[in-house]
Amino acid sequence: MSKLWGGRFTKQTNRLVEQYTASIGFDKALAEEDVQGSLAHVTMLGKCGILPEEDMEKIKEGLQAVLGKIRRGELEYSVSDEDIHMNVEKNLIEEVGPVGGKLHTGRSRNDQVATDMHLYLRKRVVEFVGLLHDLQETLIGQAKDNLETIVPGYTHLQRAQPILFAHHLMAYVSMFQRDIERLQDSYKRINVLPLGAGALAGTTFPIDRHLVAEQLHFDAVYENSLDAVSDRDFILEFLADASILMMHLSRLSEELVLWSSTEFRFVELDDAFCTGSSIMPQKKNPDVPELVRGKTGRVYGNLMGLLTVLKSLPLAYNKDMQEDKEGMFDTVETLRGALQLFAPMIATMKVNSGQMREAVNKDFSNATDIADFLAGKGLPFRQAHEVIGKTVLYCIQQNKFLLDLTLEEFKQFSPLFDESIYQVLQPEAVVNARNVYGGTATTQVSAAIGRAEERLAAT
């Protein structure tokens, strides 16, 4: 089969070279975007008088026919046509005859492939923002059901201060909000049109790039033709955003794995989201969060991979850049898989509030509050800290918790103690005492939920 670029060549391409350089195996994922870009390009060629109206119409009809085949899964891709761009063009020519060969007027595959990638990622941003909204909604739902659930809050994975479980869940809602905003911000740079840059320097045809941008709903056109075909920042940015998002999912995953263990028993993931062991009949493994945690590695890898491909790459297009695709597609699939599973997994998760309460009752996470109590009575906080440190040590030696101490015992450590200390030390009181904006007090967490719901409703 003859090549679209065969004129200059006297020999057939070596079979292994053909296979090695072809990208059709993976860039066929861009088939619809490729046709979409071509439709806008040929319309512009017609409107600018570069192609006769009838040629434009014929090519558009042909492209629509090719698009139909793509959507029905009927398009036959061939490795000898190297990539999606030449596969579509070959099919178009088969469809409408030699006039199809006029489509590529004033265009290069270099600005074409960049355009396809912009069109593709634009859709992914919308998709992932949607999936993140679903996840936020689920987390908010669980938070609302757990406005009275108190759980130890940790630092250094040591019990620190009791918090509402709702507050813990809402922390993730905030993290995913930043992920949403990062993706939305990247959209500004994704939604810029490279087409019209030609191979690198522009084109001799009197094209109208803005007309193409308008048709494809791009907000702007690349300023510099060399930059237009060399730029892959927008993909890097997506991969970086995806890496941060996966990092967030991996932290939540790690917590779910911990909380599902017999040692914690804070939550139980639904049977439908767990798997068993082929040897140990008692096992119920949290495979999904484990795998999300594990797959974070490949998402980081894809970012590092592309950063490395682009490092020191001279302007403008180099074949190296074809390596921008597989990692990006892999990240898209990995992210989609994780996000699609996370929302229903969180929605069906059983929260063991009794076990959480048990943990809170058997710890010293209210110690800060008695230190604050003494400081409130005028003792310098540093001294109060020292006094309570000694009190805690005494409790540990006596195998007691703070609420088990008698007032006499308390008074041994400071004469400032009185009956009200028992109220101050109740987990509810400890939680509700943190009534600052962004704190764990019930009113604050309810307000945070309200704000998050308002944001969601506005989308």
109 vs 159 by CB, closer to ligand ARG: 109
26 vs 422 by CB, closer to ligand ARG: 26
Please identify which residue in 321, 356, 360, 402 interacts with ligand ARG, judged by CB under 6 A: 321
Which residues is 154 bridged to in the sheet? 159
Please identify which residue in 128, 176, 234, 317 interacts with ligand ARG, judged by CB under 6 A: 317
83 binding ligand ARG? (CB under 6 A):
yes
Instruction: Report in angstroms how near the CB of residue 143 gets to ligand ARG at its nearest.
Output: 44
Instruction: Report in angstroms how near the CB of residue 108 gets to ligand ARG at its nearest.
Output: 7
225 binding ligand ARG? (CB under 6 A):
no
For ligand ARG, what does the binding mask look like between residues 269 and 308, x meaning CB under 6 A?
----------------------------------------
- Whole-number Å distance between alpha carbons of 165 and 36: 48
Instruction: Report in angstroms how near the CB of residue 219 gets to ligand ARG at its nearest.
Output: 24
Question: How many chain residues touch ligand ARG (CB under 6 A)?
Answer: 10
- Torsion 334-336-339-342 (CA) sign: negative
- Whole-number Å distance between alpha carbons of 75 and 129: 31
Using the rule CB under 6 A, give the single segment among 35-43, 108-116, 134-142, 427-435 that binds ligand ARG: 108-116
Active site residue 156: yes
Give the angle subtended at the CA of 41 by the CAs of 35 and 44, to the nearest 5°: 145
55 vs 231 by CB, closer to ligand ARG: 231
Q: Which of 120, 237, 98 minimizes the C-alpha distance to 179?
A: 237
For ligand ARG, what does the binding mask look like between residues 109 and 148, x meaning CB under 6 A?
xx--x-----------------------------------
Tokens coding 238:
């997506």
Active site residue 167: no
Which residues is 158 bridged to in the sheet? 155
- Whole-number Å distance between alpha carbons of 200 and 179: 34
Instruction: Report in angstroms how near the CB of residue 45 gets to ligand ARG at its nearest.
Output: 20
Buried b (16+ CB within 10 A) or exposed e, 370-408: bbbbbbeeebeeeebbebbeebbeebeeeeebbeebeee
Within 10 A of 76 (CB to CB), how many other CB atoms are there?
10
Q: Which DSSP state fits 365?
A: T
Q: Which DSSP state fits 223?
A: S
Tokens coding 99:
């006039």
Using the rule CB under 6 A, give the single segment among 106-114, 175-183, 285-293, 383-391 that binds ligand ARG: 106-114
| Alpha-helix runs per DSSP H in 1-108 | 15-21, 24-27, 31-47, 53-71, 84-96
Instruction: Report in angstroms how near the CB of residue 321 gets to ligand ARG at its nearest.
Output: 5
Which residues is 374 bridged to in the sheet? none
23 binding ligand ARG? (CB under 6 A):
yes
119 vs 351 by CB, closer to ligand ARG: 119
Q: Of the residues 156, 278, 312, 420, which is catalytic?
A: 156
Tokens coding 72:
């029905």
Instruction: Report in angstroms how near the CB of residue 95 gets to ligand ARG at its nearest.
Output: 22
Q: Of the residues 2, 174, 261, 277, which is catalytic?
A: 277
Catalytic sites, residue numbers = 156, 277
Query: Site residues (CB under 6 A) for ligand ARG?
Result: 23, 27, 83, 109-110, 113, 317, 319, 321-322
